[in-house]
Chain A
Amino acid sequence: MLPQVVMIQIPYYPGCTLKNKASNFETSALAAARALGLELVELPRWNCCGAVFSLSSDDLMRHIAPTNIFLRVQEMNRDHLVEDEYRLVTFCAMCFNVLRRTNQRLRESLEDRNKINDFSYLETETYQGRVEIVHLLELLRSMGWDKIQERVQKPLTGLKVAPYYGCMLLRPKDVGIDDPERPTILEELLRSLGAEPVDFPLKLRCCGSYQTVPNKDLVADLAYDILSRAQKAGAEAITTSCPLCAFNLDFRQKEIQQKYPMFLPIPVFYFSQLMAIAFGLPQEVFGLAGHYANPKTLLATKGYLQATSPLEGG
């Protein structure tokens, strides 16, 4: 018997990539959240957050896009789409980082906040600093790992997964969701799902991020280091919460195979895909079709996919 869940509604910001190239991540994340009683209500309209937080001290213009997203949360409360809920949930690690950092700057500097509000002529609201940016992983942790474990229908027993944190979930320190040098949140999630977390030395090492645009060979080398070290530690799969890390670690395996012919492909899962599988949700929400390194063989071998039904999803 599944535990009874009371649904709570929280505003949700998807960001560009989860609505487009990585929509399979969104499908699995929304379904997994729903299974835990989290009804993530997408902002009625939203814009790109900018993907990277602007680090220069002047140019406030670059913080307007994320501020507009905060205004949408205020409007949702005003219009009763949610009731007194100022938390804004994201899955994408890069969106999370930009939104939390911008929010931090606007909360700390009344001058910056006023200036942005003053020049937002087309907005009907002014930003009050009330929004709280929350990553889904943080929400899971606050629910308690035992609650996640209770929901598991098909424990991922014997699946060795290397948690790859990357940068944007953890750094800088006052933005990150866990200890920047010794995080455990992904390991905790994996353990709750019945999987075996594999520790490896490069779990915090940058994958090269947006350098994948001008220099894919460099990113292929960085990804090769990360993936092969995870494999050496015994990992059969990798998991991450960043769609850009997922792209670099998964799709750059093509370049890796050309450069290093001995390399064996390894599937890269978005953390919510593993949740959907372990929760025993319908296979079509797993979103296994949008991968480069085929995840289905591994999952079928482990008995997490039914061979009789179509393996395609998302």
Chain B
Amino acid sequence: MVRKIKLQAKNREFTRKISELSGEVAMLCEQCGTCAGSCPMLAEMDITPSQMMRLVQLGQEAVLENKTFWVCASCYTCTVRCPRGIDPAKIAEALRQVKLRQAIDYIRIDEIEPEEAKKLPAIALVAAFRKMTG
């Protein structure tokens, strides 16, 4: 699908913000798709990690409504394989942070079934709450 977009100041601002928060230069991405091809969570995502990178390059704030960066498990497979040396896991973290810093959490403690909460090790709960709540 071809979509024509005209970049405006607000788009450049969004790209700058994500780059600053992640410490990564999103513009370096050349859309080779290695991250998407390596991602173990791909089947669960609505856009691929490389599409996520492209939307960030183009400053499309709508990327924040995708679930891809929430499904990311920070496994760093893309991190070690990106031929441009970008760390897409950090871009995903930056996108999560934009939401979390607006007090928009992705998971709720009271939605975990009590039986499941008893079973889960602390390491899973601490990690999930650090990644998905603000």
Contact = CB atoms under 8 A, between A and B. Distances in A.
Interface of A: 15-17, 20-22, 48, 50-52, 54-58, 62, 92, 94, 167, 170-173, 180-181, 204-206, 208-216, 218, 222, 243-244, 247, 251
Contacts of B22: 55-57
Contacts of B126: 16, 48, 50-52
Interface of B: 20-23, 40-41, 44, 71, 73-77, 79-80, 87, 89-90, 93-94, 97, 106-107, 112, 116, 119-128, 130-132
B94 to A, nearest CB: 6
A210 B80 contact: no
Contact of B73 (A17, A22, A62, A209): A209
A216 B115 CA distance: 13
Contact of B130 (A16, A51, A215, A251): A51
A18 to B, nearest CB: 9
Given A54-B93, A243-B123, 6 more contacts: A51-B127, A55-B93, A209-B75, A211-B128, A212-B128, A218-B44
Given A56-B93, A57-B20, A206 B41 contact: yes
Would you call the interface of chain A mostly helix, strand, loop, or mixed? Answer: loop
B76 A94 contact: no
Nearest to A92: B123
B62 to A, nearest CB: 21
B76 A171 contact: yes
Which of A48, A214, A215 counts the most chain B CB atoms within 10 A? Answer: A214
A15 B123 CA distance: 9
Contact of B80 (A172, A206, A211, A247): A172
A171 B23 contact: no
Contacts of B90: 55-56
A214 B130 contact: no
A22 B127 contact: no
Contacts, number: 123
Contacts of B74: 52, 55, 167, 209
Given A52-B130, A57-B22, A208-B73, A17 B40 contact: no
B121 A213 contact: no
Contacts of A211: 41, 71, 73, 128
14 contacts: A16-B123, A50-B130, A51-B123, A55-B22, A55-B87, A57-B23, A171-B80, A172-B79, A180-B80, A205-B40, A206-B40, A213-B112, A213-B120, A215-B44
Nearest to B79: A172
A204 to B, nearest CB: 8
A214 B128 contact: yes
**In the complex, the 8 A-B pairs of residues with the closest C-beta atoms, listed nearest first:** A206-B75, A210-B127, A171-B76, A55-B93, A213-B128, A57-B23, A16-B122, A51-B127
Nearest to B117: A213
B20 A22 contact: no
A157 to B, nearest CB: 32
B121 to A, nearest CB: 4
